[in-house]
Copies of this chain bind each other. A is one copy, B any other.
Amino acid sequence: MPVAATAPRFGVNYTPSVDWMFQWMALDPDVVRADFDAIARLGFDHVRVFPLWPVLQPNRTLIRQRAVEDVATVVELGHAAGLQVYVDVIQGHMSGFDFVPAWLVNWHRGNMFTDPGAIEAQARLATVLHDRLIGLPGFAGLTLGNETNQFVDDPNPDKMVATPEQVTAWLDAVIGPLAASSKSTIVHSTNDHAWYRNGHPFVPRHVTGHGTVSTVHSWIFNGTADRYGGLSSESVRHGEYLIELARAFADDVRRPIWLQEIGAPDRCLTNDEAPEFAVQSIEAALSTADLYGVTWWCSHDIGADLSDFKTLEYSLGLLRTDQTVKPIGRRIAEVIADARARPREVPARPTAVQIEVDDALVPLDRPSLGPGGAHFEAWHTLRADGVPAALVTSTDAQDPARLAERGIASVVTT
């Protein structure tokens, strides 16, 4: 039976219109103000922002107060524009560039996940930033960092290896205390390697068992668009699918899930297709329960004066650097207005595709969950046939109480 739900948060990942993330090196409030006003005019209620780690903490024991104050200024500017602000704290990876402080690279090569001094430093930074911001009305929460899991494994050329247990300890140390005590939202984030790659040290339970909300990042350049097409059901429901995956691995069946990144890469979609992809993707996400928010990637295009990004990165914005709105931005604004105007109906998902997991709840074959994989295709085939399917672990599938709690009546094995 469908359940009525209010509209989730709608926001954008904030890519400053001037100097991209290098804006954080010495903030120009006028730039941020103009950007936030343009974002707010589209109807968004929040931004996720990315102060660079080396700017905040260039030495292991130096947190630059001026950089912290710049973040506070951005939160205040967000509030003034009517936006809630989510802050990424360990902002070490962004759009194909890594920003790791000098104290962890080259002569000082270390491991952010396992070196006690590095862990302590990150925990201190997270706490200092949180404590500075928590009193500001514009502050909504803190993300540990953008897809920090990409640092732990191939293909990162300078990977800092860690076991799943070490990742757990790192998450516990850096955001555990905040997640337990803060009145704000405390999360971390991963790319889909946590879901789709065997042996990857970040596992689904890291997504669903740390912080106060599960986050997923949906990118169809991961093979989905290549295999099925940019406007295929698989592509436009990739975000929805990740949300349902995250639900399957959470202890709390009502744990909120945040589609924290989703975007329309021009490698996968033409300019004409991008708005349609956005509409259908957001509508798909709106068919999920306990949806914390949808945060589009990204606010502004990257200026052509900046070099060495992959081509697709330049044009992911909803706004151009001159603040004019792109067609995809206009369409998303309409979708948001519409979602807020009408009661949202979330379909029940009594049919669930079973995922075989080990005793630690790690999927036995993670590629089977990804594009081309058996579980991926089983779920998407049901969905395309009009069945809003769920997913369920093999552990939960043997637990009638758990199935009842989740409202699952039928388990499909592959």
Q: Is the CB of A59 within 8 A of B98?
A: no
Contact with B along A85-117 (1 / 0, CB 8 A): 000000000001111101101111100000001
Q: Is the CB of B308 within 8 A of A103?
A: yes
Q: Is the CB of B102 within 8 A of A19?
A: no
The answer, among B19, B59, B156, B158, for a CB contact under 8 Å with A64, is: B19
Complex CA gap A55/B54 in Å reads 11
Binding-face segment, A20-28, A234-242, A252-260, A321-329: A20-28
Whether A103 touches B107, Cβ cut-off 8 Å, given contacts A25-B64, A64-B22, is no
Asked if A401 is an interface residue, CB under 8 A from chain B, the answer is no
Q: Is the CB of A103 within 8 A of B307?
A: yes
Asked if A385 is an interface residue, CB under 8 A from chain B, the answer is no
Whether A98 touches B103, Cβ cut-off 8 Å, given contacts A22-B58, A22-B62, A25-B55, is no
Chain B residue, CB-CB nearest to A28: B66
Query: Closest Cβ of chain B: how far from A11's Cβ, in Å?
Result: 26
Complex CA gap A26/B67 in Å reads 9
Query: Closest Cβ of chain B: how far from A116's Cβ, in Å?
Result: 13
Complex CA gap A156/B60 in Å reads 21
Chain B residue, CB-CB nearest to A65: B19
Asked if A157 is an interface residue, CB under 8 A from chain B, the answer is yes
Complex CA gap A71/B112 in Å reads 32
Q: Is the CB of B59 within 8 A of A20?
A: yes
Asked if A222 is an interface residue, CB under 8 A from chain B, the answer is no
Q: Is the CB of B307 within 8 A of A106?
A: no
Asked if A61 is an interface residue, CB under 8 A from chain B, the answer is yes
Asked if A305 is an interface residue, CB under 8 A from chain B, the answer is yes
Asked if A1 is an interface residue, CB under 8 A from chain B, the answer is no
CB-CB under 8 A from A58, the residues of chain B are 22, 25
8 A Cβ contacts from A203-244 to B: none
